[in-house]
Structure 1
Amino acid sequence: MIRRLLALVMLALAAPTLAQSRAPADYANVQLPDPAKEAEATALMATLRCLVCQGQAIVDSDADMAGDMRSLVRQRIAAGESADEVRAWLIDRYGDYVTYDPPVSAATLPLWLAPLLLLTFGLWLARASFRRRNK
């Protein structure tokens, strides 16, 4: 009975140790040997959103998911894929949310039109205000 209780206490104390994050992916924090390919990969990573952090690009994020995504980008660029092919693959895998530049579609059309509508409304409001002042 005491052995079981002691084993349970040891397991409970070991839980924080087991919860440590895993090692980063191969190319998460290692640059590619070819400077041109590394520049292409870095430029692409700056346009991809971390799915965990949501507001950070994967190039800046310390999250494990961002490290995995950086590694995937570098591996695919090193294998000869273009940045557009890698971006398309990531969008297919994670959805449009992964990119800071979502394509125009029925779902994203309000996001693209809202700034134009707000600007038009602001100009109309300013014009009306100036007309009142001049009268």
Structure 2
Amino acid sequence: MKLVALLTAAFVALMSPETVSAGMLTQAQQYSGLHEVKNNRRLRAALGINPARTPWCGHFMGMVARKAGRQPPKSYGIARSWLSFGAPVKLSYARPGDVVVVRAGRSYHVGVLSQISKSTARLIGGNQSGRVQLSYFSRAQVVAVRR
């Protein structure tokens, strides 16, 4: 009985939002620098699509979520679909590892929060200048934070 309680407590601790969010950031960072053309074969194998021909920020996030033990939204390839991922978090409570959806003009982009300041959110994501990299977005562009 004690063993069951111990294992249950360990599972709950490991699956807490903090641990899962940190896992998303760690997974995303493993692909940092990969370019949609120069590293096409590796990204194509990981994402299941050709990143040189398809907008792929959502596909990248789907892969990251699955590798971190999370279930991506049904239409994960569409950045806007991440508005329904996990639980909503106020921007003022955002922390590294949270999923952030930003609006750039008429389109959406999704990435994992790496750092936040008074004016910017630094995201790591796919399809940021054709690669997996850290990019800065204005806090005013943030549409949603999800955990």
TM-score, normalised to structure 2's length? Answer: 0.26
* Greater relative CO, 1 or 2 (CA 8 Å, sep 6+): 2
TM-score, normalised to structure 1's length? Answer: 0.27
- Tell me which protein shows more strand as a share of its residues: 2
- The structure having more radius of gyration, on CA atoms, is 1
